[in-house]
Amino acid sequence: MNTANSKKIFVAGHNGMVGSAIIRGLKKTGEVNILSRTRAELDLVNQMAVADFFDKERPDEVYIAAAKVGGIFANSTYPADFIYQNIMIEANIIHQSFIHGAKKVLFLGSSCIYPKYASQPMSENALLTGKLEPSNEPYAIAKIAGIKLCESYNRQYSASHGIDYRSVMPTNLYGPGDNYHPQNSHVIPGMIRRFHEAMRDKNNKVVVWGTGKVRREFLFVDDMAEASIFVMNLEDSLYRNAVNDMESHINVGCGMDVTILELAEIIKETVGYEGQILFDTEKPDGAPQKLMNSSKLTTLGWAPKVSLQEGIKLAYENFLSNEYIRNKS
């Protein structure tokens, strides 16, 4: 619902999995005026284009869900693209938010900001305590820069200009709107497509990268959207009591992880595939475990609603409804 008195909220990356989920969540909250632009309409890497957009629209609040994202293959193949584009996107949006009077910003990062061998589960204070996972280091560096941009603007301008720029760090996300590219997707959409196509083509085996032994945590994207809106609207005193000026990001996860083998078995059963699962141990595993400590957020009053089994079922239903899949299957 849009009225003259509605908050004007810019969701950067609205066509992506996370951005579209945030818009679904915002529409449930009541009177909001949602601003969005496609990549063709607004190149967020272009400093002048972003400045012109903010000068014209002057949003009250900004959600930064726009990013160049991908799995291990994409991160390893395009490291320059991942660090350059992500740093430019967040720097342009955060700076123009400040210049044009947006008082509230929420930056969405990633669990890959934490060191490869961080103690598990990973708490917010693990940031910058060790070396990153090499395969996605450029992306992680960009996301760390986004956190520090928010913190630095707050430290310099919060008192004088009344700004409040916050950051949330989601665990691995999946769900409606995910990227099912055969090479550049993340693990859940990649497996969903692989198992579906193996069943369709009557292949008797599906090959999964790595050993299958590493552990990962997964969160349904609509839960992440609700958490983002929750943090953005959290009372200032509660937020300030939970963070500090140099460690202001908040983890968002479900609090449990599974092995890649266990994940593959869940997806196999959901799809209805009856063949074998094989692992290509010559391919990289990534970090041995990535489980977030989300106790800070749960203490503040938020909890996820969608289980992994339920979420994968919903993701597969969305995959099947995708026009590309309907036309190609």
Give the active site residues: 139
Q: Which helix (H) or strand (E) holds 238?
A: helix 236-242
Sequence-ordered list of residues with C-beta below 8 angstroms from that of 181, at least 6 positions apart, any chain: none
Contact indicator for 311, 222 with CB cutoff of 8 Å: no
- The angle formed by the CA atoms of residues 323, 325 and 329, to the nearest 5 degrees, is 130
Contact indicator for 77, 66 with CB cutoff of 8 Å: no
Four-residue CA torsion sign, 115, 79, 186, 107: positive
Burial class (CB in 10 A: 0-12, 13-18, 19+), 222: buried
Q: Which of 207, 176, 211 is nearest to 317 (CA)?
A: 176
| Two structure tokens written together for 86 | 């992500």
